[in-house]
Every structure is written in structure tokens, then in C-alpha cells.
Amino acid sequence: MPLRREPTARQMRLAVELRRLREAAGLAAGEAATLLGVGHTQISHIEAGLTGVSEARLRRLAANYACRDQELIDALTVMATDRSRGWWEEYRGVLPTPFLDIAELEHHATFRQDVEFLFIPGLLQTDDYARAAFASRVPELPQVDLESRVQHRMRRKSALEGGTPTSYEAVIHEAALRIRVGDRALSRAQLTRVLEFSEAGNITVRVIPFDLDGFGATWSTVMLAGGAVPRLDTAVRDAPHGSVFVDSEAQLDVFRTLFRRMKSASLDPERSRDFIHRLTKEL
């Protein structure tokens, strides 16, 4: 079987978790290979995400590593044996890989949480708002690339819809609600759309107002996606060179704490809707 040229973030996460299990067991890669009855290179390829691993081999590895967390093993097995191709694969070669990785992450997430200070969260954006946001980039995007990004962002909303929609909670600072990415009419339509989303049973929107006493936090965008077990949660944050996927437990705890603090500082959902409604009336 040929090696993967570009493993997805999900494939890399499986690889990282298998390496962590081996290291926790105190085994070298060569020792793990011997126990599994394969060459050292095979273990290296598995732990680099360059090749897959069968359910039988994964469970043998977990046994060799004395891992007794059955829920984790089952979750890793699902990741290893999933051969489905999601809608985002249509954009491979069209959009940068991180766009596909985020869509895949959202598709499999057990919950989604966002903290936003400057923009409306992507999952709540209208197509006009998304188009205006992408159009403001420097250097400017060619029109065909811009439209591909807008279309992809709109299709990501499928994670919040359907028979088993993902639970989603967004904490949005007042700045993001007031900044006019487009004109007044576009801003009014966007706020109205946020209000419509907030009425869905699986979506909660909270607002942090400017006049909150004692609030000095200035953070970049943070997204937290729930895994099948908490150990497989993933945080995504913006960086100058693109989106950064965070999966170490220590760093995840930082982002979980951040979200709890931002949620605690925000208005409750009903007061948040009233707040957004007032802003809409001002436009």
C-alpha cells in the first residue's frame, strides 16, 4: 500500500495518540515493532500518519502498551477503520488543507465551542458576510478562490443540521457584533441570522458586552471540538501562518478553562438575544 502524501488532521491525531500510548508504556518503536511482528519502519509510518492500521493491529498495540482505557481504544478503532469520504474532499486541491481538516473535525465532533472577539463565528455567518470577510484579505483572493471559500464555509453548517446535529455554543464579544464587515444592510442581515440560529435547540449564543466590569481578556479566536472521549478533544486557534490544531492535554485544559471563563463572563442566552436584537434595531 503506498504511503499517504498528506495525512489529514484526523489521521495525524490517531498517529499521535498511538505514539503517546507507546511512550507511556516505556517502549521504544523497535520494541513495539517486535511485539507486533512487523518491521521498525512500519511502526514509524503508523506513528507518522503515513499509513493506516487495521483494527486487529490497533487492538494488539493497545494490549502491548497495557492500555486499559476501553473507551479510548474503541474511539481510536473507529478513527482507524473509517474509510468514508466527506463532502469536504470535493475541495481537495481547491482549498488549502486546513480548510478540509476543520470541516472533517466539525463533522466528527461531539460538541463545538467558539470564542470570537472580532468576527461572527464562521458557522453562524451568512454567505454575504463570509464573502465580505474573505474579500478583505491581503493579498486579495482571485474571485474563483473567494467563492470556493464562501461555498465551503456555508457547507460546514451541515454539522449543525440534520437528524443528529452537533451541540454548538458560541461566546461572541460585542466588538464582533458591531464591526461592520460590510455595509449596514449586510450587518443587519447577519445579526438577524445569528438570532435565528440562537433559537435552534442545539445552538447557544452568548454575548460579552463592552461594559462588563473587570474584563481585560484579549484573545484570538479559539475553537474547541469534542472528541469521542475527552482525551480526543481538539482546540483550533488562529495564528499568523494559519490555523493551529492543539491536542496536548495540558494545552486543552487551558482552552477549556478559557471557555469556562468567557462563558461565565457572558450574558445568559436570553439576555444575549435581547442584546443582539437591540443592536439590530440600531442599524
Average pLDDT for 141-156 = 97
Give pLDDT, residue 218. 56
The model's pTM is 0.92
Average pLDDT for 95-104 = 94
192 Cβ contact partners less than 8 Å away, ≥ 6 residues apart: 280
Give pLDDT, residue 84. 86
Average pLDDT for 64-91 = 95
278 Cβ contact partners less than 8 Å away, ≥ 6 residues apart: none
pLDDT in tens, 170-224: 999 999 999 999 999 999 999 999 999 999 999 999 999 998 876 766 566 789 9
Domain coordinates of the chain in residue numbers? Answer: 9-81, 89-282
CATH 1.10.260.40 fits 9-81, yes or no: yes
pLDDT band at 157 (very low <50, low <70, confident <90, very high): very high
3-state secondary structure of 265: helix
Range 8-12 contact pairs with CB under 8 angstroms and sequence separation of 24 or more: 8/97, 8/100, 8/101, 8/104, 9/98, 9/101, 9/104, 9/105, 9/234, 9/245, 10/79, 10/101, 10/104, 10/105, 10/108, 11/49, 11/52, 12/49
Enumerate the H helices of 2-54 as residue ranges. Answer: 9-24, 29-36, 40-47
pLDDT band at 283 (very low <50, low <70, confident <90, very high): confident
pLDDT band at 4 (very low <50, low <70, confident <90, very high): confident
Average pLDDT score over the chain: 93
Q: Which residue has the higher pLDDT, 218 or 248?
A: 248
Helix H or strand E segment including 56? helix 55-64
Give pLDDT, residue 280. 97
Residues 114/222, Cβ–Cβ less than 8 Å: yes
- CATH of 89-282, picked from 3.30.2010, 3.30.870, 1.20.1070, 1.10.3470, is 3.30.870
Q: Which residue has the higher pLDDT, 241 or 139?
A: 139
Residue 1 has pLDDT above 70, yes or no: no
Pick the closest to residue 154 from 103, 111, 89 (CA basis).
103
**Which range is least confidently modeled, 61-65, 135-139, 198-202, 217-221?**
217-221
Residue 252 has pLDDT above 80, yes or no: yes
Share of the chain above pLDDT 70, in %: 96
Residue 242 has pLDDT above 70, yes or no: no
pLDDT band at 19 (very low <50, low <70, confident <90, very high): very high
